[in-house]
């Protein structure tokens, strides 16, 4: 059972974004948050043609190579990520194995040439972090109005609520050992 989450900054990250994510984890998952030391982004995972990092390699690196205080870990980066046949991803996780990664690169309004909006960035980063941690704990995508709803664009991130639906909340409680079956 997971009782805490280690947040592992990868590369350049904003502390205010890390703090917002930590607050969302504490509020919505009721798990202790442990702040780990910042790690460099391994340059071998960077694709210079795309100008992005390979998300699958980074999440496996987090699982296999990075020491952390908690079995549940979340890597956070400002770097742009891509996976498989997708142009970009907001995050990725290893289902049921306690490892997740999120990038706030494309969650920031400034990426789209819009004015900076920290409140919106914090909310988006919390949503995607809680979504990826949900997968890492064992949840799958959900069709309800729920944080576990798949988001293919920043507009879809904005549209989903900052909460787990009742079904996913029940599953989370079971997966985290908070209730008996």
Q: Do 162 and 26 contact (CB within 8 A), yes or no?
A: no
Q: Which of 37, 128, 132, 140 is catalytic?
A: 132
Show the tokens assigned to 12: 């350049």
Residue 181 in this model has a pLDDT that exceeds 70: no
Active site includes 37?
A: no
Domain edges within the chain: 4-175
pTM: 0.96
Q: Minimal CA–CA distance to 125: which of 147, 107, 145?
A: 107
> Sorting pLDDT into bands at 50, 70 and 90, what band is 179?
confident
The 3-class secondary structure across 8-48, one letter per residue, is: EEECCCCHHHHHHHHHHHHHHHCCEEEECCCECCCHHHEEC
pLDDT per position as a tens digit, 20-55: 999 999 999 999 999 999 999 999 999 999 999 999
Domain 4-175 class, CATH top level: alpha beta
pLDDT per position as a tens digit, 85-129: 899 999 999 999 999 999 999 999 999 999 999 999 999 999 999
């Amino acid at each position: 059972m997971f009782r805490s989450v280690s947040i592992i900054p990868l590369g350049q990250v904003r502390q205010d974004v890390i703090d917002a994510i930590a607050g969302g984890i504490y509020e919505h998952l009721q798990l202790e948050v442990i702040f780990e030391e910042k790690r460099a982004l391994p340059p071998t995972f960077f694709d210079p043609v795309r100008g992005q990092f390979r998300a699958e390699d980074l999440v496996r690196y987090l699982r296999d190579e990075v020491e952390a205080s908690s079995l549940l870990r979340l890597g956070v980066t400002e770097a742009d990520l891509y996976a498989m046949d997708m142009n970009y991803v907001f995050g990725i996780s290893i289902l049921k194995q306690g490892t997740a990664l999120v990038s706030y690169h494309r969650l920031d309004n400034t990426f789209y040439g819009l004015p900076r909006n920290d409140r919106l960035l914090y909310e988006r980063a919390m949503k995607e972090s809680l979504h990826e941690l949900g997968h890492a704990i064992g949840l799958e995508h959900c069709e309800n109005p729920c944080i576990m709803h798949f988001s293919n664009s920043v507009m879809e991130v904005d549209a989903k609520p900052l909460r787990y639906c009742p079904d996913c909340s029940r599953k989370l409680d079971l997966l985290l050992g908070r209730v008996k079956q």
